[in-house]
Amino acid sequence: MARKALVVEDEKELGQLLGEHLKRWGYEPTVLNEGKPAVPWVRHNQPALILLDLLLPDIDGFSICETLKLDRDTNLIPVIMVTALSGDEDRFKGLQVGANRYLTKPFTADELHRAIDDAFAWQEDLKRNGAEGEIRFKLQSDTQFLEELNHLLGSLFLFSGLSETQVKQITTAVRELGTNAIEWGHQKQVERIVTVDYRIDAQKVTIIIKDTGSGFDPKKMPHAASDEDPVAHMMVREALGIREGGFGILMSRGLVDELKYNETGNEVQLVKYFPPKTDAKN
């Protein structure tokens, strides 16, 4: 039986062409020329694949993708954005809201086919590793790469069994402490590598963020906010040329169940426990 696929494209001729490609590759495509019906259609039909335009007449494709990726019933469905928007900011936003691939028009059938193959490889990796075990990620010290990783982690978290509220909490903590590793541990030296480990067992999800800097004493951080003097760090940050804020560690402690640094201060471990299972009889 052919796998279902959805094409959301307001240009009717292009939508039909994409549908023909999908038929040739063994899919049963449905083409929608407006965006609003897309989310309910996906929830009802559970397609294997979605090709999503961004410039739709009624709603933008970014919103559609984000809605699907934040829903545990649909977040594993590969979404490939097919769009005329070619700017770096648009591509970054597409990855931010969870798109698996971003193709700029015009593109060839071969490019589309490769993007589909890559998206399904991502899905298989997620299914194989997302329910148990460990995955290690390595990224350069750039907040854009961190943001892309965080959205991938968001999919892993939803697949793991954490609630949506818990997912928002732990991804916020990863963003804050990952940025600390990039800005403080590596002083924004892009070529230096931050390592992020994702671990899952029956009770919890653990994230370990490690930089290659010399570390610090978490109790003595002139660049961070403290309970005693919450604004003194601002002048230090201005002198060092790093972002305003410095509340990351204080805030992150309240977003996860456990947060601890290693002895040298260049590795932080975040733990989030799964919510208790409810008794179906009650």
In this prediction, residue 157 carries a pLDDT of 81
- Residue 245 zone, left/alpha/beta (φ > 0; ψ -120 to 50; rest): left
The CA–CA distances, whole Å, from 179 to 171, 226, 249 equal: 12, 18, 11
Q: What is the CATH number of domain 132-273?
A: 3.30.565.10
pTM: 0.60
pLDDT category at 218 given cuts 50, 70, 90 is low
Q: 254-269 pLDDT, tens per residue?
A: 899 999 999 888 999 9
Q: 122-168 pLDDT, tens per residue?
A: 888 767 655 556 777 888 899 988 988 888 788 778 777 788 889 88
Token digits for 70?
């934040």
Q: How far apart are CA 176 and CA 159, in angstroms?
A: 22
In this prediction, residue 141 carries a pLDDT of 92
Q: 16-40 pLDDT, tens per residue?
A: 999 999 999 999 999 999 999 999 9
Question: Is domain 3-128 annotated with CATH 3.40.50.2300?
Answer: yes
Domain ranges of the chain: 3-128, 132-273
Element (H, E) at 55: none
